[in-house]
Every structure is written in C-alpha cells, then in structure tokens.
Amino acid sequence: MTDPPSTGKSNETPDLALYLSSEEENRKLVFILKRELVNAQWDHISLVGDRILEQMEEQKKPQVMIDLSQLEHMGSSMVALLVKIWKQAEAKEGTVAFHSTHDGINQVLDLAGLAKVWTICDERQDALDALGGTTEQTGRNLAPFLVTVSLICTGIAATMLALKLTNNHPIGKTTEQQMQIGAGAVGAILGLWAFFTAHRISKRLGILSAIVCLGLAAFALFTMLN
C-alpha cells in the first residue's frame, strides 16, 4: 500500500465536495469517496472522516454504505479512514457495508485482513441490502420463499384443473374447485409480492406465477358460478 504523495498540512480549508458526496436512501447513509481523495493530503482525508463521523453521530444506530467504486487504489491513510468509520459504527451498534468494484482496492482490503470481517459487495444495491432494516429488504430476503410457495400453489391449482378436465373427482368436484380458487389466490398474492420486492430471476418467476395463478383461480370461480 502506498500513501498519498503529500501528507503535510495545508493552511487552506478544502472544499470537501471534491473528495466526498453523500446521500440518504431509506434512512441509510451513503458516502461516495471520489477518486481525488486518493491523492489528498492527510489533513484533508482526516476532514473527510470527520464529516462522515458527524453525520453518523446524528443517528442512534447508523446504517452506512461506503461507495469505493470511484477509487482505483488506496494507501494506508485511506484504509485508516475506513477503519475509523467502521469502529465508530460498531461503537454505536450500527452497520457498515462497502461497495467496491476495483480489484486493486479489494486486494488492499484483503491484505489488510479486512475483507474477512467487512461486508464488501461489487454491486451497489447488494451493499445497501446487506445493511438490512427496510421492508424492501425484507421482501428481497423472503423472495426465494415467496416464489417457491407461489409455484407450489400454481401446481396445486393446475392439478385441480386437470382433475376437472379429466372428469376425475377423488375429493369431490366442489372441494377441488375451492382448492383451485384458494391456491390460485394465495399463489397470485405471493407471486406479486415477490415481483414488487425481489429482483432478477425471483422477480420474473414471481410475476409469471402470479399471472398463471390468477388465471387458474378466475377460471375455477367462473365455472363454479355458471
């Protein structure tokens, strides 16, 4: 690891916007460290740390995401800054996650032994999700379960329809229709829940299952009423 070329103190008050930007998402603090920070003097790096700690101090149990995606390398001063933020969060019973996309940064953190104790994600959303604590995140955590149960309901409703089409009613025609409606309705609700809270494959499976379940439930209800 190499330090910034200059570590002396500057008499000028730096514009911290050159080094740092911050935002808030669902009560989670997001700090984006800019590439200019890598070559900053130590006192400027220290001021950036102070600014971050000030904002963390305003929350009882801060949830903090540090975005390192603009950085291509870092020295020991930068590592010390990250450790300081992490320790402050732990002291306040908070959580910290890091978004890092550059192999050089990941190697530095790995060599420092920090990759074993920190949550480091190559996707911004994954880093935010790792902090937990929101309804949206709860939905994402439940997504595999929601999709699985929705698909099971789809299978049950489809089986009841198959019994009807083959004129085979081992548990009774009315019971089969009721099961088809019930399984279809539950499957549709869970599928839609997965669609609105999950992402990627779970999202697509959720909406597909919801559509099929709605169709099966509607068909059973229509035939029951006619």
Could you list the pLDDT tens digit for every one of the 226 residues in the chain? 545 444 444 456 778 888 888 888 878 899 999 988 888 888 899 999 999 999 999 888 889 999 999 988 888 888 998 999 999 999 988 889 999 999 889 899 988 888 888 989 989 888 888 887 654 555 566 778 889 999 999 999 999 999 989 998 899 989 999 999 999 999 999 999 888 877 678 888 999 999 999 999 999 999 888 7
Indicate the residue type of 99. H
State the Cα–Cα distance between residues 125 and 89, nearest whole angstrom: 20
State the Cα–Cα distance between residues 176 and 189, nearest whole angstrom: 20
The per-residue pLDDT for 186 is 96
The per-residue pLDDT for 8 is 46
Query: What is the model's pTM?
Result: 0.54
The per-residue pLDDT for 86 is 93
**Per-residue DSSP letters for 123-159?**
SHHHHHHHH--SHHHHHHHHHHHHHHHHHHHHHHHHH
The per-residue pLDDT for 4 is 46
The per-residue pLDDT for 6 is 45
The per-residue pLDDT for 19 is 87
User: Could you give the 3-state DSSP secondary structure of residue 12?
Assistant: coil
Phi, psi angles (nearest 5°) of residue 125? -65, -35
